[in-house]
Structure 1
Amino acid sequence: MDKKGRFAGFIPFRGKELDSGYIDKTPVLQFVLVSLLFPMWGAAASLNDILITQFKTIFNLSNFASAYVQSAFFLGYFIMAIPASYLIKRTSYKLTIIVGLMLYLTGSVLFFPASAAATYGFFLFALFVLATGLSLIETSADTYSALLGPEDKRTLRLNISQTFLPIGSIAGILLGKYLIFTNGDNLADQLKGLTGQEKIAFGERALQKTLLPYRYMIMALLAMIIIFLIVQFPKSKAKKDEVVPTENLGQTVLSLLKNRDFRFGLFTQFMYVGLQVAVWSFTIRLALTLDTSMNERTASNFVIYSYIAFFLGRLLADYLMRFLPHLKVLFWYAVVGIFAIAYMLIDRSFTGVYVAILVSGLMGPCFATIYTETLGFIKNPQQTETAGAMIVMMVIGGAFWPLAQGWLADVTGSMSISFAVHLLTFGAIAIFARHYLKHPFTK
C-alpha cells in the first residue's frame, strides 16, 4: 500500500479523496470495475433458483427443505459481513474484494467434490463457502460504489451499479437453463419410471450437470482477480475526527444499534431481501405447479422474464428519481406490489406467474434506496464500513422468508397462497418509505 492508502496496482487512480471518504469526482474505470462485481453475485444467486428446483426432485425434498439452499447461502452472507467490515477497516476495500473473489472461487470449486459425493449437505457446504466470499464482495462493493464520487450522488451511483445486477442474474439463469435443465418431460416425470440403480444413476447424471455453469464462473473469477490486482483503487475512508474518540468494533456495533432510524433501516432491508429471494426462489415452482405439463427448462423462462422486469423496473426508478424524491418512488413501488400480491391470492390461475414477474419489476429500486437511506442515518463517518456490513447482514432475510414461504406452500398445498407472506414484506417497505417522507432524517 502506498502513502496515499491505495493498494498496489499498475493502472493509476486519478481523483481527490475527501475527508468524508467520498471522491471529488467519480473515477470511471474503478467505478465500472466495482459495478461489474454486482452481476457476479447476481449470477450466483440466480443459480440458486435453478438448484432449488433441481435438488427438490433429485433428493426428494419438500418445499421447506429445498429452501435450505437459500438458508445456507445467506447464512454465509450473514456470518461474514462483520468480519468483512473489520477487514475493510484494517486493510482496504480492494483487498477485501480480492479475498472475497478467492472465497467465491473456492466455493465454486467445491461443487465438483460435492457432485462426486452426491449428498445434499455437501452442496449446501459449498454454497455456504461461496456465499462467505460474496458477503465480502457485496459488503465492500455496496458501500464502495456509494463512496466513489460526490456524496450527494451516492444513491444514484449505487442504483446504477445495482442496474448491472440483473445482467448477472439473467446470465446465471441462462447457464442453468441450457446447461442444467433438459428438454422433454420434467424431472419428476422422468424419475417416475425408474427404480433402484436406474434412479441412482439418473440422479448422478443430473448432479453432474450442475457443475457446468460453475466451470464458466471459475474462469470469470480468475480474470476478475487479475484485473483487480493490477488496477489502483482509492482508499475511500473518512478521515479520523480528533474530537470524536475512535471506537472498537463492538462499540461501533452497539452505537449503531442504539440508533432507532438505523434499526428501522436494517429491519426494512431484512424484509426486502426476503421478498426478493423468496419470489425468485419459487417462481419456477409456481409455474410448474400451475401447469403440470411444463418442464423445468420452459419454466425457467419466467425467471428470465422476472430479471428483465427487475432491470426495467430499476431503469424506470432511476429515471423517476431524477425529479421525484427517492423515497416517494420506493413508496409507490411497494404499494403497487401489495396490490399485485393481493391479486395473486384472488386469482390462482397461471396469470399469477405473470403477476410474479410484475412483482420482480417492482423490486427494482428497493435494495439500493433502502441501503443508502439507512447508511445516511449514521452520524459518525468512521462507522461507515461497519454500518455497511450490518446492512448487508440483513440478507439473512433471504434465509428466513423462503423457508416461511416454503412452509406455507407445504401446509396449504398451494404455491399461489404461499406468496401471501409478501403482503408483510412489501408492507414494511411502504411503511419505511412513508415514514421518512413525512419525517425526514436530520443529523
Structure 2
Amino acid sequence: MFIKDNTIQHADGFLNRTPIFQFLLLSSVFALWSAAAALNDVLITQFKSIFELSNFASALVQSAFYGAYFLVAIPASMVVKKTSYKLAILLGLALYIFGCLMFFPASHAGTYTMFLAAIFCIAIGLSFLETSCNTYSAMIGEPERATLRLNVSHTINAMGYIIGLLLGKHMIFQEGVDVGHMMATLTGPELAAFKDQVLQQTLEPYKWLVGVIATIAILIAVTEYPNCKAASDSKDDQPSFGETLSYLMGNARFFKGIATQFAYVGMQVAVWSFTIRLALELDHNMVEHDAANYLLYAFIMYFLGKLLANFLFTKTSQENVLMGYSAIGFICLMYVTFIPNFSAVWVAVGTSALFAPCWATIFASTLQSVDTRYTETAGGFVVMSIIGGAAIPVIQGLLADNIGLQSSFIVSALCFAVVFVYFMNEKKYKQRFNFVAAKA
C-alpha cells in the first residue's frame, strides 16, 4: 500500500483517532452517489417530456433507483461482514461504473425501460457504497465523534448534489429549449430525430462520472484502511444472521429509526423530484433549463444547512437541532402545499437547508441503539429504509395527477412531522437514561 494506516483499533471497532487522509477519501465517495441522485431529478423532467409520461410514471425513475437499495442493502452488509469495508466500497464503485456504461445501449435503444434498467444497475453499486460508507464513516475514529464524522461526510455529499445538477443542467438540458413544446411542433422523422438527439445528451454526464469514479477507486485500492470491526467479528463466535435478525427485531428504538429514515428519504427525494416541475407549473413561460436553477439553489441551501447544523451540534444536542429543523421544515412544506403562487417554489428551495442533517443524524442515532456486534447488518437495514425514496415520490406523484402538484406536497410535510416526533422521543429517552445513570 502506498498510503499507510497508523491508527490503533479498540475492541469495539472504533479507533484512537480519525485517519484524516483515509477519512477524506472515504468522504469523497459520498459525493459520487449524491451526484447520481441529482442527475435523476434532471432525468425525471427530461423523460417526462420525451416519453410523454404522467407524474406517477416519471417518478418510477426514483422507484428503480431506490428500489435497488432495498434489495441489495442486506447482501451488501453481508459482503462487509464477511470481507471488509474497503472491498465492499471497491465492488460498489465497479458496479457504479458498469451502470453508467449501460446508458450507452439505453440511449440507442431509446426506451424508458432500458433507462430504468441502467438506473437500477447504478443504484445496486450505490447500495454497496451507502451500506459500507455510512457505517464506516461512523466507525473510523473516536466513538464520541461518530455523528460529527457522518455529518462532515454528508457535507461533502451535499457538494455532490450541486455538481450532479450542474452536469445535468448544462449537458442534458438545452438552453432556451422547451422539449415538450418542440415535440408538439414536430412530426414523423423530424420528431424521431429530435427525440434521439435529446436522449443522446443524457450520455454526457455519465462519461465524466466514469472517469472520476475510476480515479477514486484506484486511490482507495492503494490506500491502507483500518478494519473497524468489533473484536468478536474476527472470532468463531460472531453472531449469525439469524441471531442478528432476532436481536434487531426486538429492538424498538432501532425500528423507530428505520421508520424515520424511510419517511425522511422519501420526503427529500419527493421534494427534489418535483421542484423543477413545480417551477414549470407556477411559471408557464419558464423552460426546463432555467427551472433547473431552482433545484441548484435547493442543493446550495442543503450544503449551507449542513454547515449550520455542524456548527449547532457544537452548541446543543443533536435532538434539539433536529427538532428545530423538522418543525420549521413542516411549516415550510405546508406553505408550499397551500400557497398558490411562485413564492412556494422559493420556500421549497429553502426547505432543503432543513433536510441537511437528517440522514446522517438519524443513521448515527439508529446505530447507537444497536450493540456493536451487529453494526454491519444494522447499517444494511438502515440503508434498506432508503426504499422510502421509491415509495413516497410515487405516492406524491399519484396525488399530483389527481389533486394537483402543489397539493401533493402534503405528503412530504407529514414526513417531516415524523422526523420531529422521532427526535422528540429520542430526547426523552436520553433524558430518562441519564436520570437512571445519575441515580445509579
Fold-level similarity (TM above 0.5): yes
Give the letter aligned to residue 407 of structure 2: I
Task: Name the structure 2 match of 1:357.
Answer: 349
Task: Name the structure 2 match of 1:4.
Answer: none
Which of residues 385, 391, 394 in structure 2 aligns to 1:394? 385
Which of residues 5, 14, 35 in structure 2 aligns to 1:13? 5
SS of residue paired to 1:418: helix
Q: Per-residue displacement from partner, 1:57-87 (whole Å, max 9, x unpaired)?
A: 1001000000010000011111111011100
Q: Per-residue displacement from partner, 1:43-70 (whole Å, max 9, x unpaired)?
A: 0000000000000010010000000100
RMSD: 1.5
So what's the TM-score if we normalise by structure 1? Answer: 0.96
Matches within 5 A, 1:40-59: 40-59=32-51
**Change in 2 beyond 3 A, CA 1:45/1:243:** closer
Task: Name the structure 2 match of 1:432.
Answer: 422
| Contact kept? 2:155, 2:306, Cα under 8 Å | yes
- In the alignment, the residues of structure 1 paired with residue 213 and residue 143 of structure 2 have an alpha-carbon distance, to the nearest angstrom, of 30
Structure 1, unaligned runs of 5 or more:
1-8
Correspondence 1:206 to 2:192:
no
Task: Name the structure 2 match of 1:117.
Answer: 109
Task: Name the structure 2 match of 1:157.
Answer: 149
**Change in 2 beyond 3 A, CA 1:197/1:243:** closer
Which of residues 138, 142, 145 in structure 1 aligns to 2:134? 142
**Identity of counterpart residues, as a percentage?**
45
Task: Name the structure 1 match of 2:72.
Answer: 80
- In the alignment, the residues of structure 2 paired with residue 407 and residue 439 of structure 1 have an alpha-carbon distance, to the nearest angstrom, of 37
- In the alignment, the residues of structure 2 paired with residue 435 and residue 257 of structure 1 have an alpha-carbon distance, to the nearest angstrom, of 19
Which of residues 405, 409, 430 in structure 1 aligns to 2:400? 409
Task: Name the structure 2 match of 1:252.
Answer: 244
Structure 2, unaligned runs of 5 or more:
none
Matches within 5 A, 1:14-413: 14-240=6-232, 245-378=237-370, 380-412=371-403
Higher mean alpha-carbon deviation, 391-400 vs 179-188, is at 179-188
- In the alignment, the residues of structure 2 paired with residue 242 and residue 388 of structure 1 have an alpha-carbon distance, to the nearest angstrom, of 18
| Contact kept? 2:338, 2:406, Cα under 8 Å | no
SS of residue paired to 1:61: coil
Q: Per-residue displacement from partner, 1:160-191 (whole Å, max 9, x unpaired)?
A: 11000121111110011111101223111111
Q: Per-residue displacement from partner, 1:370-411 (whole Å, max 9, x unpaired)?
A: 010000001x21100001111011100000011011111100
Post-superposition offset of 1:241:
8.3
**Change in 2 beyond 3 A, CA 1:19/1:291:** same
| Contact kept? 2:275, 2:348, Cα under 8 Å | yes
**Change in 2 beyond 3 A, CA 1:189/1:389:** same
SS of residue paired to 1:48: helix
- In the alignment, the residues of structure 1 paired with residue 414 and residue 347 of structure 2 have an alpha-carbon distance, to the nearest angstrom, of 17
Post-superposition offset of 1:247:
2.0
- In the alignment, the residues of structure 2 paired with residue 435 and residue 292 of structure 1 have an alpha-carbon distance, to the nearest angstrom, of 44
Give the letter aligned to residue 376 of structure 1: Q
- In the alignment, the residues of structure 2 paired with residue 98 and residue 249 of structure 1 have an alpha-carbon distance, to the nearest angstrom, of 24
Post-superposition offset of 1:244:
11
Post-superposition offset of 1:245:
4.9
After the TM superposition, which parts of structure 1 deviate over 6 Å for at least 4 consecutive aligned residues?
Answer: 241-244
Give the letter aligned to residue 425 of structure 1: C
- In the alignment, the residues of structure 1 paired with residue 340 and residue 333 of structure 2 have an alpha-carbon distance, to the nearest angstrom, of 11
Post-superposition offset of 1:242:
11
